[in-house]
Structure 1
Amino acid sequence: MPDAVVARARLRADCTRCAGLCCVAPAFAASADFAIDKPAGHACPNLRDDDRCGIHAQLRERGFPGCTVFDCFGAGQQTVQVTFGGAPHWRDSPEQAAAVFAAFGVQRLLHELLWYLTEALTLEAAAPLHRELAAAHERTAGLTAAGPGELAAVDAGALQAEVGALLLSVSELARAGARRRPSAGARREPASGGGRRVLHRRNADLVGADLRRGDLRGVSLRGALLIGADLRGADLSLTDLLGADLRGADVRGADLSGALFLTRRQVAGARGDAATRLPAGLEHPAHWEAA
């Protein structure tokens, strides 16, 4: 396997090689994330004829912070350039537009799974599962090169469940090592009723929770709702964050450098600062510095 940072660089959106698919294919509803309603398959009114966003530099100020955290993991350019060979444009071929948007949805799932599998293959603790991980990575990467028909036949739910179960096993192996380590200094337990036992529950509701300076090493926050949670100064080394909702979470001064399965979307949705530590290959969003 290539170096994870190099491999993940290929899972980055290149809007110059896409056709504004993220501004057309998904639906969104008027909310704190989007200023308007937009049905699936309809172009956002801010999308220009050159497939660029007309308010890109003011998305947050204009009520579209949800757009700033969206990440296709490179699925947009893969759909346009590989799945459909660069042509025709969805604007020019309305009869094919539905197929393009459907393929984009599958490609996005495949690319996100590749993000997680790439990381899993770098974890020493996951060595007993490397053969299975490599096979899953090869199969998933192969599907990204498929044509529209083959992509339409992909059972996305089954594939997601299969890879998800494998990643859960990886998480358990990696987090076991963190739980065996002695505590570094006097860290108090997270200020959330029930302590770590509450946190270890999958899909835990931790909206607005006070987790400041918490020792969250080796904790599973998989699928957790951490919207608006206070994670300032927390240690999230080997903390499983797969699918966790970090929108508005305060991670200023937090150590996320060893967190498991963290994505650009989660980082962009959180509130951090220069003292927030991130894994290699993830950058501090521009709005962090501005804030």
Structure 2
Amino acid sequence: MSEHHPSLRADCGSCFGLCCVALAFTASADFAVDKAVGTPCRNLREDFGCGIHTGLRQQGFTGCTVYDCFGAGQQVSQVTFLGRDWRSDPDTAEQMFAVFPVMRQLHELLWYLTEALALDVTGPIHAELAEALAETERLGAGRPQELADLDVAAHRQVVNVLLLRTSELVRAQAPRQKKDRRGADLIGARLRGADLRGVNLRGAYLIGADLRGADLRLADLIGADLRDADLRGADLTGCLFLTQMQLNAARGDAATRVPPALTRPAHW
């Protein structure tokens, strides 16, 4: 079981509704309306809470129930900007909205690195993983302008080398070598009951795939698109780099075996 610090879990009560303002969304199956970057969602209340929180899916805002900031919202709100919110201090708004997506990426990397460090099999690269985690934390503690100017894509590339090595070490434990499905188009694929242990599914398109009863232990799921994938009865314990956002986007049931670090979505 990977141990993730509470700072990597969203605390909406300590955030200034940043995902509801800083991000854009387009009218689609996930969002009922268009919204531009820096424009508050029409459902955002004055206290930064959501006016339709209990009915988001019913009112066409499924995307909001899927999104996860990995705790970046409260970090930017309470630490980077020291509790100054964009409404009472509008001079902070533009910079705050620019910093938020950068912080979100850093916190996602912290999530992956924390998971990798908790695995016994990654012992040979623990020192490198710990160094990468410390550097990512250092970058996340930067001043607003430092964060806004950060080349986060370059840092992701450095960290990704270690995440790839982690993936190799984990997947080597699988009983048999499996076909590499990295980035594969598996949209709507019929994978019911499939033995996917140790399969590399990094960035794979599994939208609407039938994964009922599939065994995904030791599979690398980083960046895999699980929107509307059917995970009823699937075993996800021991899979690698699965996030709450991916789980929220999929469909499952009480028989779906979920990694202990994640929460079974309420809509399942």
TM bucket by the smaller chain?
over 0.9
Q: Which residue of 2 aligns with 1:210?
A: 190
Higher relative contact order (CA 8 A, sep 6+): 2
1:243-288 Cα shifts (integer Å, max 9, x gaps)? 0111100000000011100000011111011110111121111111
Superposition map of 1:89-104 within 5 A:
89-104=85-100
Q: Paired residues, what number?
A: 268
Q: Which residue of 2 aligns with 1:172?
A: 168
Q: Gapped runs of 5+ residues in structure 2?
A: none
Pair 1:124-2:120 in alignment? yes
In 2: Cα distance, 1:267 partner to 1:209 partner: 18
Superposition map of 1:138-177 within 5 A:
138-177=134-173
Q: Which residue of 2 aligns with 1:189?
A: none
Question: Structure 1 counterpart of 2:2, which letter?
Answer: A
Question: Which one of 108, 115, 121 corresponds to residue 111 of structure 2?
Answer: 115
Question: Structure 2 counterpart of 1:220, which letter?
Answer: N
Q: Which residue of 1 aligns with 2:212?
A: 232
Q: What TM-score do you get using the length of structure 1 for normalisation? A: 0.89
Question: Structure 1 counterpart of 2:154, which letter?
Answer: A
Q: Post-superposition shift, 1:156?
A: 0.6
In 1: Cα distance, 2:150 partner to 2:109 partner: 14
In 2: Cα distance, 1:76 partner to 1:64 partner: 19
Q: Post-superposition shift, 1:146?
A: 1.5
Native 8 Å contact 2:194 2:215 kept in 1? yes
1:130-154 Cα shifts (integer Å, max 9, x gaps)? 1110000011112222210221232
Q: Which residue of 2 aligns with 1:35?
A: 32
Q: Which residue of 2 aligns with 1:46?
A: 43
1:110-129 Cα shifts (integer Å, max 9, x gaps)? 11000000000112221111
SS of residue paired to 1:177: coil
Pair 1:18-2:32 in alignment? no
Native 8 Å contact 1:8 1:281 kept in 2? no
Superposition map of 1:77-88 within 5 A:
77-87=74-84
SS of residue paired to 2:165: helix
Question: Which one of 238, 260, 263 corresponds to residue 280 of structure 1?
Answer: 260
1:229-253 Cα shifts (integer Å, max 9, x gaps)? 0000000011000001111000000
Q: Which residue of 2 aligns with 1:187?
A: none
Question: Structure 1 counterpart of 2:247, which letter?
Answer: V
Q: Post-superposition shift, 1:162?
A: 1.1
Residues 8/178 of structure 1: CA separation in 2 closer, same or farther (3 Å cut): farther
In 1: Cα distance, 2:163 partner to 2:131 partner: 13
Native 8 Å contact 1:224 1:244 kept in 2? yes
Residues 129/219 of structure 1: CA separation in 2 closer, same or farther (3 Å cut): same
Question: Structure 2 counterpart of 1:266, which letter?
Answer: Q
In 2: Cα distance, 1:166 partner to 1:42 partner: 37
Q: Post-superposition shift, 1:180?
A: 4.5
Question: Structure 2 counterpart of 1:139, which letter?
Answer: E
SS of residue paired to 1:237: coil
Q: Which structure 1 residue ranges, 4+ long, deviate > 2 Å from structure 2?
A: 7-10, 92-96
Native 8 Å contact 2:2 2:119 kept in 1? no
Q: Post-superposition shift, 1:205?
A: 0.9
Q: What TM-score do you get using the length of structure 2 for normalisation? A: 0.97
SS of residue paired to 2:267: helix
Q: Which residue of 2 aligns with 1:220?
A: 200
